[in-house]
C-alpha cells in the first residue's frame, strides 16, 4: 500500500461493546440506588416498624397476663399504641421516624386489629409465644395484599443509610453520563494516515516530519504508542490507540498495525522500544514532554 493511500481506523466493536456495557452498568446501578432511596428502604422500614410492633405486643401481652389484667384493659392499652415511633433496642436505633419512611405515612396509625382484639390475639399468642416470629405476624404479613417476609426485614435503615443510597445514585449517574459521553465522542472519531501525516482521533493532523520521537514500549502488549511532535515550537504528545481504533484481527487485515507501520515507514526520529522494569515513562522524560494530548 503506497503512502498516498488513506488508511482509516474506526472505533472497534471491542471498545464500543465495553463502553455500552459500562453505560448500562452505571445506568442500572443509578436506578437501583435511587429506587432504594426513594421507595425501597423507606417501604422496608414500614414493614420493619410493623414487625417491631408485633414484637412489642408479645412482650406487653406477657406482662398483661402476669399482672392478671382484664381483656378490656388490654384492648384499651393496645388500641392506643402507635406503630411509628422512635426505636432504641438491641443496637437498632432510629431517633426520628419521619425521614426513614415514605412521606405519605400516617404517623398516628395504631397497632392493627389483630393485636388490639383480645379474643383474636390471645390464641395466637399461646400458639406463637415460644417461636422466633412474634404471634400473629405470619397471619398479618400475608393479609390485606401484603407479601411481607415472615421473618421481617433487616434492622431499620437510618436516615443516613437512606441518604447514602441517594449519594451513590448520583455518583453512578455521573459515571453513566461520562461513559455515554466518551462512547458518543469516540463513535464519531477515527485515526487516519495518508500522504500528509497522521490524523489523531481529535482531528489534529500531525505531519510525519514533525514527529520527533515515538514511544513504542506499550505497543506489543497494549496496542499503545505515543508520538512526540513539534507544534509551533513546543513539543506535544499524541496517542496511537490500536485497541480502541482499528484493532489487530488478522481476518480484518490488522488495520491498527498497518496504520502504525505506515507511521514508522515515514518516521526518521528516535524510536523508544526497550521498556524499563516498571512499565512507565522515565521521570526525566515526563519533565521534558508537554502533557498536551492532541486527542
Q: What is the pLDDT along the chain (295 residues), one digit of tens a residue?
A: 345 689 999 999 889 999 999 999 999 999 999 999 999 999 999 999 999 999 999 999 999 999 999 999 999 999 999 999 999 988 888 999 999 999 999 999 999 999 999 999 999 999 988 888 899 999 999 898 888 887 776 789 999 999 999 999 999 999 999 999 999 999 989 999 999 999 999 999 999 999 999 999 999 999 999 999 999 889 999 999 999 999 999 988 999 999 999 999 999 999 998 655 555 555 444 434 333 344 4
CA angle 98, 92, 171 (to 5 degrees): 65
Whole-model pTM? 0.74
Copy the grid coordinates of residue 5: 493511500
Cα–Cα distance for residue pair 10/20, rounded to 1 Å: 16
Q: Which residue shows C-alpha cell 526518521?
A: 268
Residue entry with cell 513539534: 230
CATH T-level assignment (fold) for domain 189-288: PH-domain like (2.30.29)
CB-CB contact of 197 with 205 (8 Å): yes
Domain ranges of the chain: 14-167, 189-288
Alpha helices in 213-254 (DSSP H): 219-222
In which order are the strands placed within the sheet that holds 211-215?
A: 234-241, 224-231, 211-215, 270-272
Can you state the percent helix, strand and coil of the chain, rounding each to 5? 50, 15, 35
What is the dihedral sign for C-alpha 61, 62, 63, 69? positive
Amino acid at each position: 500500500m503506497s503512502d498516498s493511500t488513506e488508511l482509516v481506523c474506526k472505533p472497534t466493536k471491542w471498545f464500543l461493546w465495553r463502553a455500552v456495557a459500562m453505560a448500562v452498568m452505571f445506568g442500572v446501578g443509578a436506578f437501583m440506588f435511587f429506587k432504594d432511596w426513594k421507595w425501597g428502604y423507606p417501604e422496608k422500614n414500614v414493614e420493619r416498624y410493623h414487625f417491631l410492633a408485633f414484637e412489642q405486643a408479645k412482650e406487653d401481652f406477657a406482662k398483661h397476663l402476669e399482672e392478671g389484667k382484664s381483656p378490656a384493659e388490654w384492648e384499651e392499652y393496645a388500641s392506643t399504641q402507635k406503630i411509628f415511633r422512635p426505636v432504641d433496642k438491641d443496637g437498632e436505633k432510629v431517633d426520628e421516624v419521619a425521614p426513614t419512611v415514605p412521606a405519605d405515612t400516617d404517623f398516628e396509625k395504631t397497632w392493627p386489629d389483630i393485636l388490639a382484639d383480645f379474643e383474636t390475639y390471645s390464641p395466637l399468642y399461646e400458639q406463637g409465644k415460644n417461636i422466633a416470629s412474634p404471634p400473629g405476624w405470619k397471619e398479618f404479613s400475608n393479609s390485606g395484599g401484603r407479601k411481607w417476609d415472615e421473618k421481617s426485614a433487616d434492622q431499620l435503615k437510618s436516615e443516613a443509610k437512606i441518604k447514602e443510597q441517594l449519594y451513590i445514585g448520583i455518583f453512578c449517574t455521573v459515571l453513566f453520563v461520562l461513559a455515554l459521553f466518551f462512547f458518543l465522542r469516540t463513535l464519531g472519531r477515527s485515526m487516519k494516515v495518508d500522504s500528509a501525516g497522521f490524523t489523531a482521533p481529535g482531528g489534529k493532523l500531525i505531519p510525519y516530519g514533525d514527529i520527533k520521537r515515538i514511544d513504542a514500549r506499550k505497543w506489543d502488549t497494549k496496542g499503545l504508542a505515543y508520538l512526540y511532535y513539534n507544534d509551533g515550537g513546543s513539543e506535544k504528545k499524541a496517542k496511537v490507540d490500536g485497541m480502541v481504533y482499528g484493532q489487530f484481527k488478522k481476518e480484518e487485515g490488522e488495520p491498527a498495525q498497518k496504520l502504525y507501520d505506515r507511521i514508522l515507514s515515514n518516521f526518521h526520529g528516535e524510536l523508544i522500544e526497550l521498556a524499563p522494569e516498571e512499565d512507565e515513562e522515565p521521570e526525566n522524560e515526563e519533565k521534558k514532554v508537554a502533557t498536551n494530548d492532541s486527542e
